[in-house]
Amino acid sequence: MKKIHLFFAFALMLMLGACNSDEPKNETSSIMITYNRAVSTADNSVTFSQSNSKFVIRNEATPSMQVQMILKVGNSSTVEFTTPFMPLSACDDENFAYTFEASNVTAGSHTINNMRGKINLAGPTFIQYTVDNQYQCYSTLQPFYPYTTTNFSSTESYTADDITYGVLLNTACDKGTLYLFDFHPDDNGRKYSTLRYDNLTAQATTTGYHLTGTNITPTEHEGTADAFGVDIDQYRARTINIDITQQGQVITGMIETGTEDNPTTIALNGHFFVTNL
């Protein structure tokens, strides 16, 4: 239950707006922060942008979704477009998850082709598409990874599959933050916290993002309901090395904590969805 509460808390943190009272009764809309990467097909250069995007869900016999987005491509071009309502096809392998697609969308002088994506109505969203046949683009809600395996390697190894990861990047994409929700370094079921590692160096890549950091003491982003939070000082990161790949859908990485005489390595492995798009 604790994990579910944090899941929705993170989703609400990302949401800037919600249902408009003037909308039809069968529609709900939300304005969300999205991260957008445009990879040039000519030279593999990467343009990163962060924007507010609107998602409108139409609740009918076959649910559908419309997306209004804005992103940067190349050095100076800004592209803004609105999709038609795209039917949502339920995924058999995951509750609340749907796939969607749109063949062609015209936005002024720009053309958006081959759009397809996946959304979990209680969590992550991933969209990929091309702009003007010159840029391969990927847009996600701020990355949140609910399907995870976390391995603690020290004198006594321990593996947990219920620590959830979140990542925030700034607009310039040179700094980032890593969250570990429901962090518990052992299986005693009592000591847990939500840790936040700030001021990581972040870079957009052709396959996702890369984050690194050294000598970072985490802060306790969100206290727990009991008095048994972990001793966060002992989880000062001597090094952090995080790779976000498969265009943002997968996160892997290592956090080296403890001392050189008594080190602990925390290995992270997380996914957006049960089966990635």
**Phi/psi of residue 261, nearest 5 degrees:** -80, -30
Give 225 or 131, the one with higher predicted confidence: 131
Q: How confident is the model at residue 15 (pLDDT cuts 50, 70, 90)?
A: very low
Token pair for 26 = 């069968």
For residues 130 and 73, give the distance between their C-alpha atoms in angstroms, rounded to a whole number. Answer: 10
Average pLDDT of every residue of the chain:
86
CATH class, 144-271 region: mainly beta
In this predicted structure, the answer to whether residue 256 has a pLDDT above a threshold of 70 is: yes
In this predicted structure, the answer to whether residue 14 has a pLDDT above a threshold of 70 is: no
DSSP 208-250: SEEEEEEEE--EEEE--SSS----GGGG-EEEEEEEEEGGGTE
Taking only the tens place, the pLDDT of each residue in 131-153 is 999 999 999 988 999 999 999 98
Q: What is the pLDDT of residue 222?
A: 56
3-state secondary structure of 13: helix
Q: Which of 19-23, 149-153, 189-193, 240-244 has the highest mean pLDDT?
A: 240-244
Q: What is the pLDDT of residue 73?
A: 94
CATH class, 2-141 region: mainly beta
Give 115 or 8, the one with higher predicted confidence: 115
Maximum Cα interatomic distance, the chain, rounded to a whole number of Å: 63
In this predicted structure, the answer to whether residue 11 has a pLDDT above a threshold of 60 is: no
Residue count (the chain): 277
Q: What is the DSSP letter of 185?
A: S
Taking only the tens place, the pLDDT of each residue in 165-181 is 999 998 777 999 999 99
Q: What is the pLDDT of residue 76?
A: 75
Token pair for 235 = 């989880």
Q: What is the pLDDT of residue 258?
A: 81
Contact 209, 176 (CB under 8 A): yes
Give burial (CB, 10 Å; 0-12/13-18/19+) of 141. buried
Beta carbons within 10 angstroms of residue 150's beta carbon: 23
Token pair for 111 = 């053309």
Q: What is the pLDDT of residue 23?
A: 58
Give 188 or 87, the one with higher predicted confidence: 87
**Percent share of the chain, pLDDT over 70:** 86
In this predicted structure, the answer to whether residue 7 has a pLDDT above a threshold of 80 is: no
| Residue 235 falls in which region: left (phi positive, over 0), alpha (psi -120 to 50) or beta | alpha
Beta carbons within 10 angstroms of residue 45's beta carbon: 12
- List where CATH 2.40.160 sits in the chain: 2-141, 144-271
